[in-house]
Amino acid sequence: MAREDRGQTDEAAAERSKMINRALSSFSTVLEKDPASAMAAQGIAIIVAEDTLKMNDSQARTNAMEALSILNKVKETFNDGSVYINMGHCHFTRDELEKAIECVS
């Protein structure tokens, strides 16, 4: 829900931040109980990469690289289209357009 809620007010941004923190906490708890949970790992990767368009280029690229590292591991266990879409977004953020297209096609 937090990923899709892009409210423009300060209150909406604060609520979105709370939801993201709750999601991160939930994914972390799942990974503590099941370190092989690809879905939880992908959720964390999405949180890491989220809002990179608002960051400076260097910070966005670093976050995208960290998310790609997680997603590459997720891909080994959870070979689903959503993983490739998320990887494509990360490659796009890093201006790796050929890799981005390769991921989503």
| Inter-CA distances, 55 with 49, 64, 80, 93, Å | 10, 11, 28, 11
User: Has residue 5 got a pLDDT over 80?
Assistant: no
Domain boundaries defined on the chain: 35-104
- For the stretch 22-75, pLDDT in tens is 888 999 999 999 988 988 998 888 888 876 556 677 787 888 888 899 999 899
* Reported pTM: 0.71
Domain range 35-104, its CATH number among 1.25.40, 2.60.40, 1.10.3470, 3.40.50: 1.25.40
